[in-house]
Amino acid sequence: MPIQSFIPPQRTLMGPGPSDVSPRVLSALARPTVGHLDPTFIGMMDEIKSLLQYAFQTQNTYTLAISAPGSAGMEACFVNLLTPEDTVVVCRNGVFGARMIENVQRIGAKVVVIEGEWGRAVDPQALEDTLKQTPQAKFVAFVHAETSTGALSDAKTLCEIARNHQCLTIVDAVTSLAGVELKVDDWGIDAIYSGSQKCLSCVPGMSPVSFSDQAAALIKNRKSTVQSWFLDQSLVMDYWSGQGKRSYHHTAPVNSLYALHESLVMLQNEGLENSWARHRAQHNKLASGFADLGLEFIVPAQERLPQLNAVHIPQGIDDAKVRQYLLNEYNLEIGAGLGGFSGTAWRIGLMGYAARSENVALCLAALKDALNQ
C-alpha cells in the first residue's frame, strides 16, 4: 500500500517547546516561495532584522536569524568568538549550561565551571568570587532562562559583574526572548541567541542571534579560521547585511522566514511589555490552579520562569502514564523532566501563542482528571 500524505493530530502544545503556532504564522508558511536572493525577500530580511532588534531591545547592527535551531545559535556564538587560547567561565545550573561547557571544550578553550543548584538561579556572588580568582577569563556564559528547570537568572546583574571584570558575555535566551524582560543593550550583553519555537511561537528551525559591536569586531578581526563553515558569521554577515546585492552563503529557509517575520509582526503589534505581562498573568492563573491540585513548584517564586513551569510529580504518580493519558484523551502535550529531574518533574510551558486562558483551563482540567485516574 502506498504511503499517504501525513496529517498530524491537532495538539495543544504545553511542553518545553515547540509551542503552539498561531494560524497567522501557519498561513504565512503557505505563501509563494521566492528565491533567497530575490529583492523582495532581501527586503523582508531587513524587516526581520529590525523586528529582532525590537524583540532583543538592541541597536546591534549584527542581529539576524541563523538558518538552524537554537542549538546552532549557541554554537555560532561560541565558535565565532572563542579560540583555544581563551578562558571561559560557564555558569551551570541545568542541562543547557552543560551544553555550553561542551561547546567550549570542543573548541579547545579552557572552561571554568560555576556549579549551581538545579532549580535555582545562577548565584551572582559565585560569579563575582570566581572572576576574582580567574583574572585571565575573557568570557562569561550563562543561561538566562534554564528550560530544564524553569529557573530565571538575573542577567542584568550577571552581565554587570562580567563587565566589571572586562569579560564579554554569551547568553542563552532560547526560552526567555519575548516571554520575560530582556534588554540586550541596557544590560550590556555581547552575544545572545534564542529559538523561534518558544515564546515567539514560530515553527522550529531558526535561531535569532545578536552580537554587540565589540563582539562583531572580535569575529571580523580574528586571526584563526572559525571551525564551522556554515556557522562562520564573518561569511553570513555578508548575506544579512549590505545595500542591494547580497553575498550568497546558503539557501535560506524562505517560507520559515516568512513565518518568523509574521510572528515578530505579531509581537510588535502586541507590544513587548504587553507580551511579558501576558505570560506573567497566565502563569499566575496556572500557579493558582496547581495549588488547588496540590502540585508544588521546583523553583522559588522569585526565581521562577512564568513561561516554563517545573513542578514535582506527586508521590506514587506514574510520570509516563499521566503524560500519555493527557496526549490520548486531551491531545495535550506537557514535558518530562530532564537530567536529574527525569521521572520526578513535569515541565509545563506557557509560551507565546500557548499563553492563553483557554490553555490554562484545559491543562488544569486535564491534569485533575489524570491525577484522579
User: What is the rounded CA–CA span in Å between residue 358 and residue 318?
Assistant: 26
Provide the residue type at 157 as one letter. T
In CATH terms, the fold of domain 23-268 is Aspartate Aminotransferase; domain 2 (3.40.640)
Q: Which helix or strand (DSSP H or E) is residue 53 part of? A: helix 39-56
Q: 175, 174, 171, 195: which is closest to 184 by C-alpha?
A: 171
**pLDDT at position 248:** 87
User: What is the rounded CA–CA span in Å between residue 352 and residue 267?
Assistant: 9
Instruction: Read off the pLDDT of residues 238-280 as tens digits, 9 standing for 90 and up.
Output: 888 866 567 889 999 999 999 999 999 999 999 999 999 999 9
Distances (CA, A) of 115 to 66, 175, 222, 318: 30, 21, 30, 30
Interaxial angle between packed helices 233-240 and 70-81, expressed in degrees from 0 to 180 and rounded to the nearest 10: 120
Per the CB < 8 A criterion, the answer to whether 330 and 359 are in contact is: no
Instruction: Read off the pLDDT of residues 119-168 as tens digits, 9 standing for 90 and up.
Output: 999 999 999 999 999 999 999 999 999 999 999 999 999 999 999 999 99
**pLDDT at position 245:** 65
Residue 237: pLDDT over 90:
no
User: What is the rounded CA–CA span in Å between residue 227 and residue 373?
Assistant: 53
Give the residue carrying C-alpha cell 495549588: 291
171-191 average pLDDT score: 98
In CATH terms, the fold of domain 12-18+272-372 is Aspartate Aminotransferase, domain 1 (3.90.1150)
Provide the residue type at 220 as one letter. K
C-alpha cell at 312: 514535582
User: What is the rounded CA–CA span in Å between residue 318 and residue 265?
Assistant: 41
Residue 115: helix, strand or coil by DSSP?
A: strand
Instruction: Break the chain into its structural domains and give their ranges.
Output: 12-18+272-372, 23-268
Order of strands across the sheet with 62-66? 62-66, 207-211, 191-193, 168-172, 139-143, 87-92, 110-115
Quote the Cα angle for 72-201-141, to 5°. Answer: 40
Per the CB < 8 A criterion, the answer to whether 318 and 330 are in contact is: no
User: What is the rounded CA–CA span in Å between residue 196 and residue 182?
Assistant: 16
The chain-wide mean pLDDT, for the chain, equals 96
Q: Which helix or strand (DSSP H or E) is residue 238 part of? A: helix 233-240
181-203 average pLDDT score: 98
14-39 average pLDDT score: 96
Q: What is the pTM of this model?
A: 0.97
Instruction: Read off the pLDDT of residues 37-84 as tens digits, 9 standing for 90 and up.
Output: 999 999 999 999 999 999 999 999 999 999 999 999 999 999 999 999
Q: Which one-letter DSSP state was computed for residue 304?
A: B
In the chain, pLDDT over 90 holds for what percent of residues?
95
